[in-house]
Amino acid sequence: MDVPIYIYIALIAGVVSIIAAIYFRNLVMKADPGNERMQEVSGYIDSGARTFIKVQYKVLFIFVFVIAAALLFLPSPLENSERMFVFLNWEQSLVYIIGSIASMWAGYLGMQVGVKANTRSAQGCTIGTKEGFNVAFLGGCVMGLAVVGVALIGVSLVYMIFLSPFVVLGFSFGASSVALFMKCGGGIYTKTADVGADLVGKAEYDLPEDDPRNPATIADNVGDNVGDIAGMGSDLFDSYVASIVASMILATALIVGESLPIFIILPIILCGIGLFASLAGIFIIKWFGSEEPGKALNSGTYLATLLFAGLGFVIIYMMTLDYPRFAIRLWRVYLATVIGLLSGIIIGFTSDYYTRDDKKPTRSIAEAAEEGHAVVILSGFSYGLISVVPPAIGLVIAMTIAYILDGVFGVGMAAVGMLAIVGTIVANDAYGPIVDNARGIAEQGDLGDEVIRTADRLDSAGNTAKAITKGFAIGAANLTVVALMFSFAEEAGTEFIDLISIEVLIGAFIGVIAPALFSALLVQSVQRNAGKMVREIRRQFEENPKILTGEEAADFNKCIAIATRGALRELVFPSIISIIIPLAVGALFGVAALGAFLAGAILSGFVFAIFMSNSGGSWDNAKKFIEDGNLGGKGTDAHKASITGDTVGDPFKDTAGPSINTLLVVMSLTATIFMGFLLAFNHGAGLLSVFL
């Protein structure tokens, strides 16, 4: 089967994007890194982040090695089938390793620039908003472009070489393994430091945010980088590749005859177009710059969306000239991707509504803080759950329309569309922690109130962007795992997954519980680690009172070590269960039950992910609203209660909530990739099928 020439769109887009990333990196490095103290702080953050990544990657290498070996020696999913693609397992195993290394490399590159951009953005703020914004934005773009460029080049090349979506699946699984570690580990790290710093520094000693006397301040800043830049980047790398591969598998299963070669690479082509759209959007924003960072970020998203729709239209039109017989189907699939992208943006903006402090929900939560700690929790809890409804409706409508347009393949392509402009999304998202850090560095580098206020303005735009991208990421991941579930079912050859049969119902039951258990374990990890951090901070303050007077420096390395070690230790159990549980369900109850397990996990995962992200986001903003002087401002009982809300929300929104995405992708890919293994148990009916 020849690969249509259109695939080069994706390859070229990937290469251009890597070049642009390197160009932006150089621009960032050329900017003024500020005074000595700032460089010192930035250096600490840099080395803390490197230490974490190094330790993390070491463990990851072992994990990847074990899984690669398992892939090599386990029965191949397709050995005994008569599908069109048959391959030896070494290919999937090798590509798995390549996928994980690619993801690690992209994450490392992006984060490396992030930790350089922070101090330079802080210095930029001494000139003006525009200058501060530009550096941070470019730093974010490096991450966004590196992630998408590497992913797209990887997927295209793997497909061009092996000509099998199932080998690409290996690449995707590699990216997923990395994402699981980076997201859980980074999430635990960042909140261990943040919660610990707040509980002692803010609550007990009344230190301001980012105060250099607080021993956990540097660890907190490191956490923003490893959790929010590297973690979120690897998460979206993962979803991005998974959405492509899910659609490719669906194409091979559903589309027969001579139209297959073009439809099988359509996800790759459209992602290439999306990458060009993201690039164009980024250059336009960079060109015009902006005094209003929030607007600039949003207009980048809008621009990329419009350009995607326009460029996509042109390319699809060209393709219809080459393949007139498939014209109608090409247009339908194109519409499905546009619908997917639009719904992603709508979902993102509902998250924004529920977390903005000028809208009713967050305002009510802030007011609830006046009635005490318990009421602010109840209020955030209920709004968080209610906020699940609008994005769910958005997702249901998108799925329905996409299904009407081109069946299950349409649903897969809607996921591709949602993730097509992921370059912009990751860039906006990585901007957040950079300016967050910049604010901290401005504070620690004594740049004065005016500059801190400018940095605050940048930070607040980052928070809004983060809320939107988080909603977006959850929506996209969910649509992707729905596509993965369909491709799993196609792959398993199950004609239907019947909910009325007991093993399927049990599979769905376990699936519904899995995300709840997973988030509980992560929240508990953060709580346990933060407890250690709290004790360490208290110890330092008590043993050396000069730290509090500012005469002597706090020992922030101890705090970094606690966060690093804790994050690694705590991520082991959740990571293992995310692979063990689907395998156990499949082996015991059969592949139909495993399909239902995935469905249950996807649906309940959506609820928990949105609930936790949004409740956490609005508690955070309710606190900021009060700190801005509303409802009595800082120091009041309402403020204290709002801090309680924020602290509860921290592991919700930055650890557990966003990790659920990765969990879902890993579980879906595990199910698909270990199919051959599962089919060994009573031909896929499961060990217990003799009784049931």
**Least CB distance from residue 524 to its own copies, whole Å?**
4
Is residue 508 within the footprint of its own copies (CB under 8 A)?
yes
**Helix ranges (DSSP H) in 31-88:** 36-73
**Least CB distance from residue 467 to its own copies, whole Å?**
19
How far, rounded to the nearest angstrom, does the alpha carbon of residue 554 sit from its chain's CA centroid? 33
Hey, CA dihedral for 151, 663, 658, 415, is it positive or negative?
positive
**d(C-alpha 598, C-alpha 240), whole Å:** 19
Is residue 516 within the footprint of its own copies (CB under 8 A)?
yes
H or E element in which residue 187 lies: helix 165-196
Is residue 567 within the footprint of its own copies (CB under 8 A)?
no
Q: Is 417 exposed, middle or buried (0-12, 13-18, 19+ CB in 10 A)?
A: buried
Which residues in the 251-290 window bind its own copies by CB under 8 A?
none
**d(C-alpha 188, C-alpha 652), whole Å:** 11
Is residue 498 within the footprint of its own copies (CB under 8 A)?
yes
From the list 250-258, 311-319, 378-386, 679-687, the region that binds its own copies by CB under 8 A is: 378-386
From the list 267-275, 326-334, 460-468, 497-505, the region that binds its own copies by CB under 8 A is: 497-505
Comparing CB distances to its own copies, the nearer of 303 and 398 is 398
**Least CB distance from residue 246 to its own copies, whole Å?**
14
The 10 Å CB-count burial string (b at 16+, else e) for 433-458 is: bbbbbbbbbbbbbebeeebbebbbbb
Q: Residues 283, 496, 545, 682: which binds its own copies (CB under 8 A)?
A: 496
Comparing CB distances to its own copies, the nearer of 19 and 576 is 576
Comparing CB distances to its own copies, the nearer of 66 and 517 is 517
Please name which of 235, 684, 569 lies closest in space to residue 425, comparing C-alpha atoms: 235
The set of residues, in sequence order, having a beta carbon less than 8 Å from that of 114 and lying 6+ positions away, is: 139, 140, 142, 143, 225, 229, 430, 433, 434, 437
The set of residues, in sequence order, having a beta carbon less than 8 Å from that of 243 and lying 6+ positions away, is: 267, 412, 415, 416, 418, 419, 476, 479, 480, 483
- Both tokens of 33, joined, read 């890194």
Comparing CB distances to its own copies, the nearer of 174 and 600 is 600
Binding mask 524-563 for its own copies (x = CB under 8 A): x-xx--xx--x-----------------------------
**d(C-alpha 76, C-alpha 612), whole Å:** 38
Is residue 404 within the footprint of its own copies (CB under 8 A)?
yes
From the list 300-308, 445-453, 640-648, 657-665, the region that binds its own copies by CB under 8 A is: 640-648
- Both tokens of 408, joined, read 């299950």
Comparing CB distances to its own copies, the nearer of 80 and 524 is 524
Is residue 520 within the footprint of its own copies (CB under 8 A)?
yes
From the list 174-182, 266-274, 289-297, 601-609, the region that binds its own copies by CB under 8 A is: 601-609
From the list 132-140, 341-349, 389-397, 435-443, the region that binds its own copies by CB under 8 A is: 389-397
Is residue 593 within the footprint of its own copies (CB under 8 A)?
no
Is residue 328 within the footprint of its own copies (CB under 8 A)?
no
Q: Residues 388, 434, 442, 568: which binds its own copies (CB under 8 A)?
A: 388
The 10 Å CB-count burial string (b at 16+, else e) for 313-345 is: eebbeebbeebeebeebbbbbbbbbbbbbbbbb
Q: Is 542 exposed, middle or buried (0-12, 13-18, 19+ CB in 10 A)?
A: exposed
- Both tokens of 690, joined, read 């003799």
Comparing CB distances to its own copies, the nearer of 167 and 626 is 626
Which residues in the 648-687 window bind its own copies by CB under 8 A?
648, 651
From the list 137-145, 273-281, 329-337, 501-509, the region that binds its own copies by CB under 8 A is: 501-509
Is residue 479 within the footprint of its own copies (CB under 8 A)?
no
Is residue 509 within the footprint of its own copies (CB under 8 A)?
yes
**d(C-alpha 461, C-alpha 449), whole Å:** 18
Q: Residues 205, 331, 381, 677: which binds its own copies (CB under 8 A)?
A: 381
Cβ count within 10 A of residue 392: 18
Is residue 596 within the footprint of its own copies (CB under 8 A)?
yes
Hey, CA dihedral for 355, 598, 511, 178, is it positive or negative?
negative
Which residues in the 605-624 window bind its own copies by CB under 8 A?
606-607, 611
**Least CB distance from residue 461 to its own copies, whole Å?**
27
**d(C-alpha 511, C-alpha 294), whole Å:** 38
Is residue 481 within the footprint of its own copies (CB under 8 A)?
no
308, 420 in Cβ contact below 8 A?
A: yes
Q: Residues 299, 382, 544, 557: which binds its own copies (CB under 8 A)?
A: 382
Is residue 403 within the footprint of its own copies (CB under 8 A)?
yes
Q: How many residues bind its own copies (CB under 8 A)?
A: 79
180, 663 in Cβ contact below 8 A?
A: yes
Which residues in the 149-208 window bind its own copies by CB under 8 A?
195, 199, 203
**Least CB distance from residue 223 to its own copies, whole Å?**
17
**Least CB distance from residue 533 to its own copies, whole Å?**
11
The set of residues, in sequence order, having a beta carbon less than 8 Å from that of 38 and lying 6+ positions away, is: 119, 122, 123, 441, 442, 444, 445, 447
